[in-house]
Chains A and B, each alone.
Chain A
Amino acid sequence: MDVSVRNIRKEFDRYPALNDVSLDIRSGELIALLGPSGSGKTTLLRLIAGLEQPTLGSIFFGAEDASHKSVQERHVGFVFQHYALFRHMTLADNIAFGLTVRARHERPPKAEIRRRVDELLDMVHLSGLGKRYPNQLSGGQRQRVALARAMAIEPRVLLLDEPFGALDAKVRKELRRWLREFHDRTGHTTVFVTHDQEEALELADRVVVMSQGRIEQVGSSDDVYDRPNSPFVFSFIGDSASLPVTVAEGGIRFQGEAIGIAPGPDDVAVGEGTLFFRPQDVVLVTDPAVPALEGRVATSRRLAGTRIADIDIGTPERPHHVEIEIPLDANAANGAAIRFRPTRWKLFGA
């Protein structure tokens, strides 16, 4: 089922949580809404579900305008960060709930319900635990039950709100892998919200990077990592370093000095801007005649097979600070002079 969000604006007491957001979600894809808190990602998810109503704009499920429909009518599966299981019901009753509340003429016979519940328990690897109660399960198990419960109604779209946020790191990793497998097996359109970029990049077919109520970029993991289209996306995804620069005489200059690189085809052509690059995309320049960024090592630390150096750069009146990766054999003593230039970068206008 395609989902189309068109020009959505959502205000809470005049405060715009979402400002003119549009997004097309393709049927069957696993898409992540990624952003820091306050970016509006959870609000967007809840609007799709029908748990909130947009101030402006509309939401389409397929060709149908679902904006007026109640949450019950939208037939979505929603999984909450804290599971929201019904504590007084067994797992089986929890999973069957969506089927048992249906109107008589739509409700499957009891035997059919039981069969589906068992099938779903198998799918989430909790076979035979139907008679247990939620408080007898671990967090990871409860989340799997929540997922099974949402799947029981055969939803058009599956929506997950920070589904692994309440779990510890190891369980989170396991469930991530498991969710991807699950999605591949069932093929449901799935939208999940997360603030953890590792999770988004690992799991999703496409990532929607959001900030302050707007969509910054939509693309595959490679797209947002290698070809970020804004300073926010560049600095939010992966590690980054940035410096204010000017473009003059065909070259990029930092505090007036050439640093050995020139703007690329899609960089801003002249004037002031900010240079973004990743710590691992630098090379040391040993030849003193070649222009490069110059600085001194403030501190450094060892990280697996490489070293991260904290470099002080710039004049004392306008000091700057970047982190770069340097080879293990380079001189990284505190105070050592270092010259380097980025091998890959992006230049954004001021």
Chain B
Amino acid sequence: MTTPAAVSVRWRLRQPSVIPGFGLTLGFSLAYLTLIILIPLAGLVWRSASLSGAEFLAILTDPRTLHALKVSFGTAFVAALINVVFGVVVAWAIVRYTFPGRRIVDAIVDLPFALPTAVAGIALAALYAPNGWIGVLLGYAGIKAAFNPTGIVIALVFIGLPFVVRTVQPVMEEIDREVEEAAATLGANRFQTVFRVLLPGLAPAILTGFALAFARGVGEYGSVIFIAGNIPYVSEIAPLLIVVRLEEFNYAAATAIASIMLALAFLMLLVINLIQAWSRRRYSHGA
């Protein structure tokens, strides 16, 4: 006869529930994930482990690799920054203002999500090439926006916008109007209310949006390679370098670069989770 105490002390893998299907659904999900993700990733890890430390370092410090990484991370950073500024403006307009076509504008924000990257790639290339519509206009101002990092930034701004807007939007919708009114009763003008009361409250969401847009931008391929020009040491992005190395059958180099990018991707995910945990601790049980 088991005593109740003994049963409850046993370490719980999961809490009991009357709802059926746990084994089935979890089992299937895990199997699927293992097959699709874990095994292939394991292959990558195994492959990069087979490189010695010295080989690894050599690949990494190869000037072309370093440059590709710099281009990828640099352009992603700038693009994410631009998206933060304009993404917040767009989200604000959608959430706080009413105007004809608001729903359409809201839907359009998802376009980069739904549009294939190659399609975006050739469209942007056509627009910003020296003989494209915008390329010509910029040409008059002496600005070149294609076949250089500028073009890459433009493509990444397109790609990353929904990440910022969709992360910030729900938080904006939850803004307590009374907090704004309180600031006004205390004498703050609109500018002070927005910058000292509202935006700081949005900071975690903005940071998260930035991180997501940044992470996405670093790995972006299809929408970039048409407008970038792909000139090594100038506008070659890291994912493209991986493809180049693959076509050279230089699996070691491809693997090494991929490992770095993966490691950095995990780092970004960690940062995002930390931001969210911190903000939950600081701001939850709202005032």
A residues neighboring B (CB under 8 Å)? 49, 51, 70-72, 75-78, 80, 82-89, 97-98, 101-102, 133-135, 142, 146, 149-150, 152-153
For A80, list chain B residues within 8 Å (CB): 178, 181-182
Most buried by A among B182, B188, B284, B285: B182
Contacts of A89 in B (CB 8 A): 200
User: Who on chain A is nearest to B182 by CB?
Assistant: A84
Q: In the complex, which of the residues A51, A85, A150, A153 contacts B287, with contact meaning CB atoms closer than 8 Å?
A: A85
Contact between B187 and A102, CB atoms less than 8 A apart: yes
| B96: interface (CB < 8 Å) | no
Q: Are B282 and A149 in contact (CB under 8 A)?
A: no
Interface residues of B in 171-207 (CB under 8 A from A): 176, 178-179, 181-189, 192, 196-197, 200-201, 203
Given the known inter-chain contacts A101-B192, A135-B283, A135-B284, please indicate yes or no for A84 contacting B187, CB distance below 8 A: no
**Smallest CB–CB gap between A129 and chain B, Å?**
14
Given A84-B178, A88-B201, A133-B282; A97-B183 close (CB under 8 Å): yes
**Tally of contacts, chain A with chain B, CB under 8 A:** 85
Q: Tell me which residues across on chain A come within 8 A of B176, comparing CB atoms.
A: 82, 84
- Tell me how far the C-beta of B276 lies from the nearest C-beta in chain A, rounded to whole angstroms: 15
- Are B283 and A71 touching (Cβ within 8 A)? no
Interface of B is mostly: helix
Residue numbers in B under 8 Å from A88 (CB-CB): 200-201, 203, 282-283
Q: Indicate if the CB atoms of B178 and A101 lie closer than 8 Å.
A: no
Q: Does B16 contact A (CB under 8 A)?
A: no
Say yes or no: A98-B287 contact (C-beta < 8 A), given A51-B181, A80-B182, A88-B203.
Answer: no
A46 nearest in chain B by CB position: B181
Task: Output the least CB separation between B174 and chain A (Å).
Answer: 12
Can you list 5 residue pairs at the A/B interface with Cβ under 8 Å?
A84-B176, A87-B287, A101-B196, A135-B287, A153-B186
Q: Are B186 and A98 in contact (CB under 8 A)?
A: yes
Instruction: Beyond the given A78-B185, A146-B182, please list 16 additional residue pairs across the A-B interface where CB-CB is below 8 A.
Output: A49-B185, A51-B181, A72-B184, A80-B182, A84-B178, A84-B287, A85-B182, A86-B287, A87-B201, A87-B287, A88-B203, A88-B282, A101-B189, A134-B287, A135-B286, A153-B186
Kindly report which residue of chain B lies nearest to residue A95, judged by CB atoms.
B186
Complex CA–CA separation, A214 to B179 (angstroms): 29
Binding site for A on B (CB under 8 A): 176, 178-179, 181-189, 192, 196-197, 200-201, 203, 282-287
The 10 closest A-B pairs by CB, nearest first: A85-B287, A98-B186, A134-B287, A84-B182, A78-B185, A84-B178, A101-B188, A135-B285, A88-B200, A80-B178
Decide yes or no: A84 and B188 within 8 Å by CB, A134-B287, A142-B287 being known contacts: no
Q: How distant is A196 from chain B, measured CB to nearest CB, in Å?
A: 20
Question: Bound state CA distance, A51 and B179, in angstroms?
Answer: 12
Q: Shortest Cβ distance from A93 into chain B, in angstroms?
A: 10
Nearest A-chain residue to B286, judged by Cβ: A87
Q: Contact at B188–A82, with CB atoms within 8 Å?
A: no
- Bound-state CA distance A84–B186 (Å) is 12
A133 to B188, CA, bound (A): 21
* Cβ B186 vs Cβ A149 within 8 A: yes
- Which residues of chain A are within 8 angstroms of B203 by Cβ–Cβ distance? 88
CB distance from B182 to the nearest CB of A (A): 4
Are A71 and B185 CB-contacts (below 8 A) given A84-B179, A101-B192?
yes
| Cα-based distance from A135 to B200 in the complex (angstroms) | 16
Shortest C-beta distance, A305 to chain B (Å), equals 43
The docked-state distance in angstroms from the alpha carbon of A223 to that of B245 is 91
**How many Å from the CB of A60 to the closest CB on chain B?**
19
In the bound complex, residues from chain A placing their C-beta under 8 Å from that of B188 are 72, 97-98, 101
Cα–Cα distance between A291 and B157 once the two chains are bound (Å): 90
Q: Known contacts A84-B287, A87-B283; decide if A72 and B187 are in contact (CB<8 Å).
A: yes
Q: How far is the CA of A221 from the CA of B273 in the complex (A)?
A: 56
Distance, CA A134 to CA B281, complexed state (A) = 12
CB distance B179 to A101 under 8 Å?
no
Report how far A80 CA is from B186 CA in the complex, Å.
13
